[in-house]
Structure 1
Amino acid sequence: MREIFAGMPWWVKWVAVPIIALVVFGSVIATVVGFVIGLLFKVLVFVALVGGLIYVVRKFMSNSSSRSDW
């Protein structure tokens, strides 16, 4: 790979090739990034729902045990 770029100007390696890669693979990159962000959002929603459920169950259990003490 180094032999291919050895005679090329610096802007070919650092500007033209990345731009071509973004044009060719841009939709694939966008799909992967969108999938990862969607997955992280779903994980956060799951954690929030489980945390809320645990909070409600603990609150209910502590209230029911304190009522039986009366």
Structure 2
Amino acid sequence: MREIFAGLPWWVKWIAVPVIALVVFGGLIASVVGFVIGLLFKLLVFVALVGGLIYVVRKFTTNSSSRGDW
């Protein structure tokens, strides 16, 4: 691979080839990034819902036990 790029200018290696790769694989890269971001968002929503459920359950269980003390 190094032999192929050996005689080429620097801008071909560092600008033209990555731009061509982005054009060719751009849709694939965008879909993978979108999938990962969507998965992280769903994970964040899941953690928030479970945390809220635990908070509500603990709040009601401590309130119901303290009402029994009256």
Match of 1:21 in 2: 21
Structure-1-length-normalised TM-score: 0.99
Cα offset for 1:36? 0.3
Is 1:64 aligned to 2:64, yes or no? Answer: yes
Cα offset for 1:67? 0.5
Query: Could you tell me which amino acid in structure 1 is paired with residue 53 of structure 2?
Result: L
RMSD: 0.3
Structure-2-length-normalised TM-score: 0.99
Match of 1:55 in 2: 55
Is 1:40 aligned to 2:9, yes or no? Answer: no
Match of 1:4 in 2: 4
Query: Could you tell me which amino acid in structure 2 is paired with residue 68 of structure 1?
Result: G
Cα offset for 1:53? 0.2
Show structure 2 runs of 5+ residues with no match. Answer: none
Count of residues paired in the alignment? 70
Moved >3 Å (runs of 4+): none
Match of 1:30 in 2: 30
Give CA deviations for 1:1-46 in whole Å, capped at 9, x if unaligned: 1111000000000000000000000000000000000000000000
State the percentage of identical aligned residues. 86
